[in-house]
Amino acid sequence: MSLVGQSPPFAEGCKSRLSVARRADERFSWHWQTVRVAGKTTKLAVASDPEGMLIDACRRQDAGEQGVIDPFWATTWRAAAGLDRYLDRFDLRGRRILELGCGTGHVGLSAAHRGAQVTITDGVSDPLLLVRLSTWGLRNRCRIRRLRFGIDQLDEPPFPLILGSDVTYLRQLWPELEQCLRDHLELPGQVLLSDPYRLIANEFREWIQERNWDYVEHRVDLEDTPQHPIRVMQLQPR
């Protein structure tokens, strides 16, 4: 397992927001999107054509190219908005928090807006470019790191709270996800994971409880589509 104690390679030499933006421009098309984060209107840097990026990745995979990852990070998933809303229940000022599988960074940014010190991570480097842009105004509260489940371990003290949205949809990654949680969770501490009530997350609920985790489920209704609530899974190791 590798220790991750420094910024990803792309961060070296990024002296300004403009230089980060230029690096993102070299990788893909992106734009600023107005969203609600922590109850405030703010801007998120997001990929402009996530569907096109996915089609391109599938074509490359079909052609036999190795190491091509589906860019699911390029979409802002509703599960992130649901977990953002759920954080209204907490006083996060001064708390150390880890976000896993950040994608657009919505959840980590939400925690930072609430006064937390947040380490925002993803398993691939591309989304971290955009997250660095989105969190620029709160960079004194945000650390941006690459963290691959089951491979990397952050060179930081454990965290009392770990957050993740839509990180349970791949069954084959559950063992690596659980190991990552155990590697980085301070005891006693808790984990909050959100999803849009996917059927596979029902299986995860049973799977994680069999591995000595206490599980409590919460429902979050969002105004835009109240008929499609978000589930927040609260986990604590026994």
- Whether residue 37 contacts residue 44, with contact meaning beta carbons closer than 8 Å, is answered with yes
From first to last of its 238 residues, the chain has per-residue pLDDT tens of 544 444 444 344 345 888 999 999 999 999 999 999 999 999 999 999 988 878 887 888 788 877 656 677 777 789 999 999 999 999 999 999 999 999 999 999 999 999 999 999 999 899 999 999 999 999 999 999 999 998 999 999 999 999 999 999 999 999 999 999 999 999 999 999 999 999 999 999 999 999 999 999 999 999 888 889 999 999 999 9
Give domain status of residue 44, yes or no. Answer: no
Taking the alpha carbons of 81, 82, 85, 86 in that order, is the dihedral positive or negative?
negative
Question: So what's the pLDDT on residue 55?
Answer: 82
Residue 220 DSSP code: E
Can you tell me the distance from the alpha carbon of 4 to that of 31, in angstroms, rounded to the nearest whole number?
29
Q: Is 188 exposed, middle or buried (0-12, 13-18, 19+ CB in 10 A)?
A: exposed
Question: So what's the pLDDT on residue 9?
Answer: 40
Can you tell me the distance from the alpha carbon of 72 to that of 80, in angstroms, rounded to the nearest whole number?
13
Give domain status of residue 84, yes or no. Answer: yes
Range of the domain at 227: 77-237
Beta strand 40-47 with 30-37 is antiparallel
Question: So what's the pLDDT on residue 68?
Answer: 58
Question: So what's the pLDDT on residue 59?
Answer: 84
Q: Is 29 exposed, middle or buried (0-12, 13-18, 19+ CB in 10 A)?
A: exposed
Beta strand 117-122 with 142-146 is parallel
Give domain status of residue 101, yes or no. Answer: yes
Give domain status of residue 16, yes or no. Answer: no
Measuring CA to CA, which residue among 148, 158, 157, 150 is closest to residue 127? 148
Give domain status of residue 25, yes or no. Answer: no
Instruction: Quickly tell me which residue has 């301070």 as its tokens.
Output: 186
Question: So what's the pLDDT on residue 177?
Answer: 98
Q: What's the CATH number where 170 sits?
A: 3.40.50.150
Question: So what's the pLDDT on residue 15?
Answer: 55
Question: So what's the pLDDT on residue 225?
Answer: 83
Give domain status of residue 52, yes or no. Answer: no
Taking the alpha carbons of 75, 124, 135, 102 in that order, is the dihedral positive or negative?
positive
Residue 10: both structure tokens together: 């792309």
Question: So what's the pLDDT on residue 119?
Answer: 98
Our count of domains for the chain comes to 1
Give domain status of residue 176, yes or no. Answer: yes
pTM of the model: 0.90
Give domain status of residue 108, yes or no. Answer: yes
Q: What is the pLDDT of residues 134-160, one digit of tens each?
A: 999 999 999 999 999 989 999 999 999
